Amino acid sequence: MNKRVQLQDLGLKDYKETWDFQEKLFKEIIDLKIKNRREEESIDTPNYFIFVEHPHVYTLGKSGDISNLLVDEKVLEEKGASFYKINRGGDITYHGPGQIVGYPILDLDNFFTDIHKYLRFLEEMVILTLADYGLNAERSKGETGVWLDVGTPFARKICAMGVRASRWVTMHGFALNVNADLGYFDMMIPCGIKGKAVTSLNVELGKKEIDINEVKERLLSHFLSFFEAELIE
């Protein structure tokens, strides 16, 4: 089993370009797994962890409801935002500058073959990262992602999640609001969940801006710990 993970920080990159890049890596891993099985070989499959920020974009998962996007194409254009339907789970999600998006592209055969455990590990990685900043984040039963003040009228989401897996290879991932412009969330019903607010780390800490690279380092550290993985840069 190969527990080495290659880090790729793409900086600010178009959503569709990043999606195509993910698909390329995803397909390469699956093709190698098929080849190994067919030819009875044992070539190690690679693992990747992608960090990226996207220009303003709304994405709708395969089970999502388009009515959860509350504006039309003209408003999106005025706001400099794009829209894509994609093949992950979940409903509608916003990505934009000031938000850390993480796409782990892992062969879970290298770690453990349990998609629920995988999701719990991603959630816990974010929860522990937020704890590093003094925030008590947690899961919300029946709702994806990571939340603050769960079970109160002040419940608010700080991290969205949506993944896809095939032959135990993962793609898509999480989006953690660090210095996000929360006004863009008003143009949709986040993840299709009505009446729940969205927040960002800088807002919760009462700061204009948080060092986004420091947050990435903390996320990565917790990720490597949970998956008992070794980083390759």
**Which sequence positions are flagged as catalytic?**
191
**CB of 64 closer than 8 Å to CB of 90:** yes
Beta bridge partners of 48: 6, 105
* Dihedral-angle region of residue 90 (phi above 0 means left; psi in -120 to 50 means alpha; beta otherwise): left
Say if residue 134 carries a ligand binding annotation. no
- Residue indicated by tokens 């003209």: 74
Say if residue 61 carries a ligand binding annotation. no
- Residue indicated by tokens 């093709």: 31
Pair of tokens at residue 143: 């709702």
Pair of tokens at residue 171: 């793609």
Say if residue 90 carries a ligand binding annotation. yes
Say if residue 160 carries a ligand binding annotation. yes
Say if residue 93 carries a ligand binding annotation. yes
Q: How far apart are the first and last CA of the chain?
A: 19
Q: What is the longest distance spanned by two Cα atoms in the chain?
A: 57
Residues ≥6 apart with Cβ < 8 Å to 195 = none
Mark out the alpha helices in the chain (DSSP H runs). Answer: 15-39, 73-78, 115-132, 201-204, 212-226
Strands 57-60 and 92-95: antiparallel
Say if residue 95 carries a ligand binding annotation. yes
Say if residue 89 carries a ligand binding annotation. yes
Residues placed in the known binding site for substrate: 88-95, 160-162, 173-175
Q: Which residues are annotated as a binding site?
A: 88-95, 160-162, 173-175
